[in-house]
Structure 1
Amino acid sequence: MDDNDETERAATIGLIAETMRSTVTVARALVDAGVRVDLSGLDREVSDLCADAVALPRPLGRELIGPLSRLRDEISALEQTLTDAPTAG
């Protein structure tokens, strides 16, 4: 794989991370509104995304710290929202 391919791959990973963050933000809003959300597969998708980022050359991987950190923060916020949500019953 040449440098251009790796750079494009890094850009794609960053875009996916931001898209996933937006999806998690919507999921958190839905949970806040009392709507049940299906989060199956989220852990696998995030794991795959992180593995792809780690496989990049170090300088390109470092460029993804921002998008991946924002995704992590949004997932943490969702986790807190789920923890705080009243249980049905």
Structure 2
Amino acid sequence: MDGNDETERAATIGMIAETMRSTVTVARALVDAGVRIDLAGLEREIGDLCADAIALPRVLGRELIGPLTSLRDEIAALERTLMDAPPAD
């Protein structure tokens, strides 16, 4: 794989991380509104995303610290929201 392919792959991973962050933000808003959500597959998708980022050359992977940190922070906020949500019936 040449440098251009890896650069494009890094950009794609960054876009996916941002899309996932937005999805988790919506999930958190739904939980706040009392809507039940299904998180099946989220852990696998995030694991795949992280594995893809780790496979990049170090310099390109470092460029993803911001998007991946934002995703991590949003997941942590969702986790707190889920813990504070009333139990499901």
Q: Shorter-chain TM-score: what band? A: over 0.9
Q: How does 1:17-56 map to 2 (within 5 A)?
A: 17-56=17-56
> What is aligned with 2:73?
73
**Number of the residue aligned with 2:58:** 58
Q: State the alpha-carbon separation in 2 of the partners of residues 84 and 15 from structure 1.
A: 30
Alignment length (residue pairs): 89
- In 2, the alpha carbon distance for the partners of 1:13 and 1:65 equals 11
How much is the aligned-residue C-alpha RMSD, in angstroms?
0.5
Structure 1 segments, 4+ long, off by >3 Å, are none
- Pairing 1:74-89 to 2, within 5 Å after superposition: 74-89=74-89
Q: Distance in 1 between the 2:77 and 2:2 partners? A: 38
Identity %: 82
| One-letter amino acid of the counterpart of residue 21, structure 2 | R
CA distance in structure 1 between the partners assigned to 2:63 and 2:88 by the alignment:
42
State the distance in 2 between where 1:18 and 1:79 align. 18
Instruction: Provide the TM-score with structure 2 as the length reference.
Output: 0.99
- Structure 1 residue runs of 5 or longer lacking an equivalent are none
Deviation at 1:88, TM superposition (A): 2.9
Structure 2 unaligned regions, length at least 5: none
